[in-house]
């Protein structure tokens, strides 16, 4: 009879002997002794494919991964280079730079809205009207996109029938494209109006 540690080493040996280019590990450090944990780290380090792992063992993550994906809430996943501690430092740095930029963007958008209301002789009436309507359209598209992202972020979303999830995912992709196109159109019209 094998002990628990011997059984885990045998399972790891069998797992890494099978040829593959993708290895998915869910909490692989549970119930491992120190010797087996070190062996697992070495095996992952020498693995010639992609390893996707989920772990709450921060030291293990720091020792084995080159990129972290962190669920940040609101259906968003942040991608960070390095281990867990590197990812947290990058995440904090990103948040620190993002907050001042949000205030700056609010200050920049308000004067542009006032300029659009006054009108400009550089745009035809039709283009001027389109430019005036675009901020409202952008808000509507952003609200639609947020609603779809909330649906996808729901824990029960992928337990729905495949056809329903595919429709929502297709709608989400289309909403993202529409929002991007609307922003590009708004930037283009602003450039025309300002003579750029």
For 3-58, the DSSP string reads -HHHHHHHHHHHHHHS--SEEEEESTTTT--HHHHHHHHHHHHH-SSEEEEE-S-H
**pLDDT for res 152:** 85
pLDDT, tens digit, for every residue of 5-48? 778 778 888 888 888 899 999 988 887 888 888 989 998 888 88
CATH class of 119-193: mainly alpha
Provide the pLDDT confidence category of residue 60 given band limits of 50, 70 and 90.
very high
Fold equal for 4-65 and 119-193: no
Question: CB-based contacts of 94: which residues, under 8 Å, 6+ apart?
Answer: 78
pTM for the predicted model, two decimal places: 0.46
- Smallest CA-to-CA distance from 40 within 84, 72, 9, 6 is with 9
Among residues 13, 85, 25, which one has the least CA distance to residue 50?
A: 25
CATH class of the 4-65 domain in this structure: alpha beta
Domain locations in the chain? 4-65, 119-193
Q: Does the structure show a pLDDT above 80 at 51? A: yes
Residues facing residue 68 across a β-bridge: 80
Q: What is the pLDDT of residues 85-125, one digit of tens each?
A: 888 888 888 777 766 655 555 544 444 444 444 444 467 77
């Amino acid at each position: 009879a094998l002990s628990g540690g011997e059984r885990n080493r045998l399972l790891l040996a069998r797992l890494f002997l099978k040829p593959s280019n993708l290895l998915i590990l869910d909490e692989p450090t549970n119930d491992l002794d120190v010797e087996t944990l070190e062996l697992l780290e070495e095996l992952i380090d020498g693995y010639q494919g992609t390893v996707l792992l989920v772990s709450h063992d921060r030291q293990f993550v720091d020792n084995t991964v080159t990129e972290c994906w962190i669920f940040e809430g609101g259906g968003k996943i942040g991608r960070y280079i390095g281990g867990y501690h590197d990812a947290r430092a990058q995440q904090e740095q990103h948040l620190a730079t993002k907050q001042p930029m949000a205030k700056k963007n609010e200050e920049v958008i308000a004067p542009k809205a006032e300029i659009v209301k006054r009108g400009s002789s550089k745009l035809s009436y039709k283009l001027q009207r389109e430019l005036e309507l675009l901020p409202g359209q952008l808000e509507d598209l952003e609200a639609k996109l947020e609603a779809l992202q909330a649906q996808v972020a729901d824990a029960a979303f992928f337990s729905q029938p495949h056809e329903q999830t595919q429709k929502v995912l297709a709608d989400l992709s289309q909403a993202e494209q529409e929002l991007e196109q609307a922003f590009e159109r708004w930037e283009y019209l602003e450039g025309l109006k300002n003579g750029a």
